[in-house]
């Protein structure tokens, strides 16, 4: 494999305003190309918007969702990939032929759709259908995988994607600044609209336990334990009534951050992935030393899923 230049971006999406979101994505993709990127990744549901979906009836959500790859947004993304000669990854709500809706992430290049991944653990709307498989694909000779936001919290998902051969894990999110039982967690309270006059207050919260400091508790471990490149993307700015803090970044197989967005606004940064690190990192040796005979029966033990998302408002979607 040859070195690969990957860009990760952050931008403030606008819920249900697909044209405006496309324009933001286009501007950042053009900047990524100027930085000599070969690949540019964007966040979860960046083309459609995200948190607003919890207020929608299922019929309204179906109207927002689109077919993949024949829908307007995916076709637009393919045209942009052709225009820039750039591999692009972005998220949206997908509607299949049966009317089911998924939280989906697509990878496209000049030839068309490369891969589609459906979030395994969706929760923003109770009638979203969970995906039922892992997805791996190849970009310029590199084996890649995707896990969307909450999917990354389940350790088995990251390890399974690595064992399927992924050297790069794309991790699109809309996260941070949410209530939790974790000490220091909660909604951001600083004023996003006052960021030019008072960036200090925003940065204090964004970098603290509500934001980046929480990310640093687990994100480097996903890269290090699995000896892969982690491409983390996140929204910044207001998502419905919730403030997000960006921090899009790329980590190498040692768990080191090799590039990170730090601007209080739309931004794209680029880093080079080199194949040597995949086998130099400790996680590579640890994977070779695994003894699945000891724990395979434990990992497959069934349980009753009682997942409950506590940070969402109590109001239910319309029926």
Identify whether the C-beta of residue 8 lies closer than 8 Å to the C-beta of residue 269: yes
Torsion angle of the four alpha carbons 286, 291, 295, 296, in this order, in degrees rounded to the nearest 10: 100
Residue 315 has pLDDT above 70, yes or no: no
Lookup: tokens for 223: 């890269």
Residues 6+ apart with CB under 8 A from 102: 65, 93, 94, 96, 118, 119, 122, 128, 129, 131
Residues in CB range of 68: below 8 A, 6 or more apart? 74, 92, 94, 104, 106, 113, 116
Element of type H or E holding 295: helix 292-299
Question: What is the share, in percent, of the chain residues with pLDDT greater than 70?
Answer: 95
Domain boundaries, the chain: 4-299
- pLDDT tens, position by position, 243-295: 999 999 999 999 999 999 999 999 999 999 999 999 999 999 999 999 999 99
Could you tell me where the beta strands, DSSP code E, fall in 147-280? Answer: 168-172, 229-233, 236-239, 242-245, 249-251, 257-260, 267-273
CATH number of 4-299: 3.60.110.10
The pLDDT of residue 46 is above 70: yes
The yes-or-no verdict on residue 313 having pLDDT over 70 is: no
- β-pairing, 112-118 vs 257-260, is unpaired
pLDDT band at 303 (very low <50, low <70, confident <90, very high): confident
Summarize the confidence of residues 30-46 as an average pLDDT: 98
DSSP notation for 26-44: HHHHHHHHHTT-SEEE--T
pLDDT in tens, 167-213: 999 999 999 999 889 999 999 999 999 999 999 999 999 999 999 99
User: Residues 298-307: contacts with CB within 8 Å, 24+ apart?
Assistant: 299/156, 307/121, 307/123
Residues paired with residue 273 on neighbouring β-strands, in sequence order? 4
User: Residue 128: helix, strand or coil by DSSP?
Assistant: strand
Nearest Cα residue to 54 out of 123, 101, 105: 123
> Are residues 208 and 20 in contact, defined by beta-carbon separation less than 8 angstroms?
no
* 49-61: pLDDT as tens digits: 999 999 999 999 9
DSSP state of 112: E
How many residues are recorded in the chain? 319
Q: 80-93, pLDDT tens digit by residue?
A: 999 999 999 999 99
Residues 81-108 have a mean pLDDT of: 98
Confidence of residue 301 (pLDDT cuts 50, 70, 90): confident
Average pLDDT rounded to a whole number, residues 230-251: 97
User: Which pTM does this prediction carry?
Assistant: 0.96
Residue, of 232 and 16, whose pLDDT is higher: 232
- Which is nearest to 240 in space by CA: 38, 47, 94, 55? 55
Q: Looking at residues 108-123, what average pLDDT do you find? A: 97
């Amino acid at each position: 494999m040859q070195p690969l230049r990957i860009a990760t971006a952050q931008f403030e999406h606008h819920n249900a305003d697909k044209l405006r979101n496309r324009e933001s994505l286009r501007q950042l993709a053009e900047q990524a190309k100027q930085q000599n990127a070969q690949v540019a990744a964007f966040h979860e549901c960046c083309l459609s918007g995200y948190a607003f979906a919890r207020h929608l009836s299922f019929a309204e959500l179906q109207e927002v969702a689109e077919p993949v790859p024949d829908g307007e947004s995916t076709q637009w993304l393919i045209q942009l990939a052709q225009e820039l000669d750039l591999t692009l990854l972005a998220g949206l709500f997908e509607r299949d032929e049966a009317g089911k809706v998924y939280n989906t992430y697509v990878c496209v290049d000049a030839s068309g759709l490369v891969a589609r991944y459906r979030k395994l653990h969706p929760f923003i709307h109770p009638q979203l259908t969970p995906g039922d498989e892992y997805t791996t694909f190849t970009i310029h000779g590199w084996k890649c995988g995707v896990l969307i936001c909450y999917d990354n919290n389940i350790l088995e998902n990251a390890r399974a994607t690595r064992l399927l051969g992924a050297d790069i894990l794309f991790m699109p999110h809309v996260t941070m600044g949410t209530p939790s039982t974790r000490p220091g967690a909660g909604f951001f309270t600083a004023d996003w609209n006052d960021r030019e006059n008072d960036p200090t207050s925003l940065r204090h919260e964004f970098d603290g336990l509500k934001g980046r400091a929480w990310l640093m508790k687990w994100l480097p471990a996903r890269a290090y334990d699995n000896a892969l490149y982690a491409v983390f993307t996140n929204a910044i700015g207001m998502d419905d009534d919730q403030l997000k803090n960006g921090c899009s970044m790329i980590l190498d197989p040692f768990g080191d951050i090799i590039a990170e967005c730090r601007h209080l606004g739309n931004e794209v940064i680029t880093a080079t992935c080199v194949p040597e690190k995949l086998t130099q990192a400790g996680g590579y040796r640890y994977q070779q030393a695994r003894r699945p005979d000891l724990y395979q029966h434990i990992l497959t033990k069934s349980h009753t899923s009682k997942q409950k998302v506590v940070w969402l408002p109590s109001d239910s979607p319309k029926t």
